[in-house]
Amino acid sequence: MVKQTAGRDALGEFAPKFAELNDDVLFGEVWSREDQLSLRDRSLITVTALMSMGLVDSSFQYHLTTAKKNGITKTEIAEVLTHLAFYAGWPKAWAAFRMAKEVWGEESTSIEESSGTEENASTEEGIRTEDAKSDYQKELLFPIGQPNDGFAQYFTGQSYLAPLPASQVGIYNVTFEPGCRNNWHIHHAKSGGGQILVCVGGRGYYQEWGKAAQELHPGDVVNIPVGVKHWHGAAPDSWFSHLAVEVPGEECSNEWCEPVSGEDFEV
């Protein structure tokens, strides 16, 4: 029988009946009918249902973790989410993959990428947790916003986007988790255009092609002219946020190039 206490833990006092239905009926009875449908199959359909609704909150994370426990491999969840992308929607798959990578990626990344002890690995992981993010938010004047899924393909690591309620000129607060940076890119325009970065939190870097990277701190302003190949992002050990101001112009576009190599990033 599946033992569940999440309902009583979270809502036992506030909504005792809901807690009881959650723990004793949904999990204690329905999830527990393994003779009718295996836990593995129940995990598959639950993940499918949650992703289809666009739910990628802690409940989704719980069910991904449960799916892993119930025997779904990394290869299988990648295939499940790829298949679902066509039925549930591409952006939902992007969001789901971000969380699946956390759940299935944990062991392999810490073993492959950690050059130090286990303690080092967990310390490094610790600076990118939800707790670290909410600590960082407390000292930041602007909202961190939502996962920057629309541009995720042009970023290494997790970034977040919060459009400021500005008219006339687009202004976005962009937050990079430690080590996150965007690919080399170029802002194009027929006239006007370009980008202004106003640094508002943490510590990061800006680098133009062929030049040394420059360290950025809150209060620093970077004027990026059109046609200049560059990248911006967080220091490896710090969160970083800048406001990105889109300078108005004619026929503005972005050209996305290769990711920043480890060598460039060892600033």
Per CB under 5 A, residues contacting Mn ion are: 195
Query: C-beta of 254: minimal distance to Mn ion in Å?
Result: 8
Query: C-beta of 248: minimal distance to Mn ion in Å?
Result: 15
Token pair of 258 as six digits: 């290769």
Which spans in 72-152 are helix H? 74-88, 90-113, 118-126, 130-139
> For residues 94 and 151, which CB has a smaller minimum distance to Mn ion in the complex?
151
Query: C-beta of 210: minimal distance to Mn ion in Å?
Result: 16
Query: C-beta of 74: minimal distance to Mn ion in Å?
Result: 33
Collect all residues with Cβ–Cβ distance below 8 Å to 50 and sequence separation of at least 6.
Answer: 56, 59, 60, 63
Query: C-beta of 173: minimal distance to Mn ion in Å?
Result: 14
> For residues 19 and 244, which CB has a smaller minimum distance to Mn ion in the complex?
244
> For residues 159 and 195, which CB has a smaller minimum distance to Mn ion in the complex?
195
> For residues 56 and 245, which CB has a smaller minimum distance to Mn ion in the complex?
245
User: 214, 215, 219, 182: which is closest to 200 by C-alpha?
Assistant: 219
Bridge partners (DSSP) of residue 244 are 172, 197
Q: 86: helix, coil or strand? A: helix
Query: C-beta of 233: minimal distance to Mn ion in Å?
Result: 10
Torsion of CA 147, 148, 149, 151, to 10 degrees: -170
Question: How many angstroms separate the CA atoms of 236 and 23, rounded?
Answer: 42
Residue closest to Mn ion when measured from CB atoms: 195
**Are 31 and 39 contacting, i.e. CB atoms less than 8 angstroms apart?**
yes
Write the single-letter amino acid at 108: S
> For residues 22 and 195, which CB has a smaller minimum distance to Mn ion in the complex?
195
> For residues 16 and 163, which CB has a smaller minimum distance to Mn ion in the complex?
163
> For residues 148 and 195, which CB has a smaller minimum distance to Mn ion in the complex?
195
Q: 50: helix, coil or strand? A: helix
Collect all residues with Cβ–Cβ distance below 8 Å to 65 and sequence separation of at least 6.
Answer: 103
DSSP string, 92-110: HHHHHHHHHHHHHHHHHHH
Query: C-beta of 137: minimal distance to Mn ion in Å?
Result: 23
User: 99, 87, 101: which is closest to 53 by C-alpha?
Assistant: 87
